[in-house]
Chain A
Amino acid sequence: MPGFAETFLNLAIMQAALPYLLQGLWTTLLLVALVVPLGIAGGLAVALLYRSPRRRVRWPLILYVDFFRAFPPLVLLIFLYAGLPFAGLEIGAFTAVAIGFFLNTSAYYGEVLRAGIESVPRGQMEAARSTGLSAGRAMAWVILPQAVRNVLPDLVGNTLEVVKLTSLASVVALPELLFAARQAQSLTYNPSPIVLAAVIYFVLLWPFVRLLSRLEHRMLAAR
């Protein structure tokens, strides 16, 4: 039986798999670059629409946010990819991932941003409006900067989750980092590529985890 190092930390295999995994990493980063801005934009739309005094507007938003926060993203993804074709909707792996992650992350970002906007005292909007700013400009210049600052740890934490979420795309054969590692694993019949993928995820995310930790401490200190 081969030793632990040879099995899990096989440098020769890692070296051979590295270019392949870096290609996967590139796809992961592309996915993040697509899903995070779209999710934030969608979340912002949810948070802004939620300010509507009309129940007819707020009610569906609550439903949307609750539904997609409760719906496991993996189930959603498999449904979009493997379920929709039964309705004659063949959407492909990338589109399924993009739609699924957008629905999931926009619900989370929406909830975070809504809480941020609500954390800004009412008087801020009144002061801005009293100087003649339109509601939109007051939102952009006065409310949102404070809202984002107030929920910055949640926004960073949520973004971390989104990066980790992208590994789910491997189940629909989108060649991101985890998928590439699994392919390399089955080709070499050795788990070292998975370990290497884990290391890459860690190196990628650790700075953000540190940042998050600092932000949380700062928020606590400011309180």
Chain B
Amino acid sequence: MTREPPVLSIRGLRKSFGAVEVLRGIDLDVQPRELVFVIGPSGSGKSTLLRCCNRLEEPSNGSIHFDGTDILSPRTDINAVRRRIGMVFQNFNLYPHMTAAGNVMLALRQVLKKDRREAEAIAGEALARVGLADKRGAYPNELSGGQQQRVAIARALALEPKAVLFDEPTSALDPELVGSVLQVMRDLRQAGMTMVVVSHEMGFARAAADRVVFMDQGEIVEQGPPDTVFGAPRHARTRAFVEQIVRH
């Protein structure tokens, strides 16, 4: 079997906010259908790393290639790249003035220029995929946090992205609602979606991640299979962090 090129390829990525350097030279490849878990203490730069991947944050230096496209090149149409990279946010960021279906349909209509009927059909499928076929007419404030996050995932999936970035997708959820979101992510992985997940859900990481990346102070300290990183971390910093979240 020939090795496929990575979906996401990050080299020497640096990002500063003013005088503070948040990312200090990140190299990371994500293979097709791989689920990469990024962990690390708050302020380690993991969310910034994720947000650089679709240029919600403008990197200061380095290169990012997505599916063969240099996304930092000024000639790249960033909107065209973004519709192939799904993103799921900690606070869902659903549009409160639109129904669940409306949230999913907006980019289908405005970006992909689908007609209304086709957009409605795709939105219906996407919502069914996250187990919310019966909620298409509901507004975000009528949904639980877990349901809102699943609508947000449906919104990302409807554009048939090549990869999905998850920025602490379960951190804002009540504990009893986390399971439904993780189940959807598990289904996605089964379906072969490439995913980069910033999260502290260790149980999920152990069960589903192909690789765990530990970041601290803007650098990747250690990476490997979940059992190694969680079970036998090589670095003291990783060990300290893992012990902390296990105790939690």
Q: Does A pair with B?
A: yes
Q: For the complex, is B150 an interface residue (Cβ under 8 Å from A)?
A: no
**Cα distance A130–B82 when bound, in Å?**
6
Q: A170: shortest Cβ distance to chain B, in Å?
A: 41
Cβ–Cβ < 8 Å partners of B155 in chain A = 127, 131
**Interface pair B56/A129, CB less than 8 Å apart:** yes
**Interface pair B110/A137, CB less than 8 Å apart:** yes
Q: For the complex, is B106 an interface residue (Cβ under 8 Å from A)?
A: yes
Q: For the complex, is A141 an interface residue (Cβ under 8 Å from B)?
A: yes
Interface core residue of A121, A131, A132 (most chain B CB under 10 Å): A131
Cβ–Cβ < 8 Å partners of B86 in chain A = 130
Cβ–Cβ < 8 Å partners of A130 in chain B = 54, 56, 82, 85-87, 156
Q: For the complex, is A149 an interface residue (Cβ under 8 Å from B)?
A: yes
**Interface pair A124/B95, CB less than 8 Å apart:** yes
Q: How many CB-defined contacts (below 8 Å) exist between A and B?
A: 62
**Interface pair A131/B111, CB less than 8 Å apart:** yes
Q: For the complex, is A88 an interface residue (Cβ under 8 Å from B)?
A: no
Return the chain A residue nearest B85 by Cβ. Answer: A130
* A 91-143 contacts with B by CB, 8 A: 121, 123-124, 126-134, 137, 141-142
Q: Which of A124, A132, A146, A149 contacts B82 (CB 8 A)?
A: A132
Return the chain A residue nearest B56 by Cβ. Answer: A126
**Interface pair B83/A132, CB less than 8 Å apart:** yes
**Interface pair B97/A131, CB less than 8 Å apart:** no
Q: For the complex, is A145 an interface residue (Cβ under 8 Å from B)?
A: yes
**Cα distance A179–B237 when bound, in Å?**
80
Q: B110: shortest Cβ distance to chain A, in Å?
A: 5
Q: A215: shortest Cβ distance to chain B, in Å?
A: 16
Count of A residues near B, CB < 8 Å? 18
Q: Which of A123, A128, A133, A149 contacts B97 (CB 8 A)?
A: A149
* A 58-83 contacts with B by CB, 8 A: none
Q: B99: shortest Cβ distance to chain A, in Å?
A: 13
Q: A156: shortest Cβ distance to chain B, in Å?
A: 18
**Interface pair A123/B91, CB less than 8 Å apart:** yes
Q: Which residues on A are within 8 Å of B, measured CB to CB?
A: 121, 123-124, 126-134, 137, 141-142, 145-146, 149
Sample 22 A-B pairs with CB under 8 A, ordered by A number: A121-B91, A123-B89, A124-B93, A127-B93, A127-B94, A127-B95, A127-B152, A128-B95, A128-B106, A128-B107, A130-B54, A130-B56, A130-B82, A130-B86, A131-B159, A132-B79, A132-B80, A133-B79, A133-B111, A137-B111, A141-B106, A141-B110
Q: Which residues on B are within 8 Å of A, measured CB to CB?
A: 54, 56, 79-80, 82-83, 85-87, 89, 91, 93-97, 106-107, 110-111, 152, 155-156, 159
Known: A127-B89, A131-B111, A132-B107. 17 other contacts (CB 8 A): A121-B91, A121-B93, A123-B93, A126-B93, A127-B95, A127-B152, A128-B107, A129-B82, A130-B54, A130-B56, A131-B155, A131-B156, A132-B82, A133-B107, A137-B111, A146-B95, A149-B97
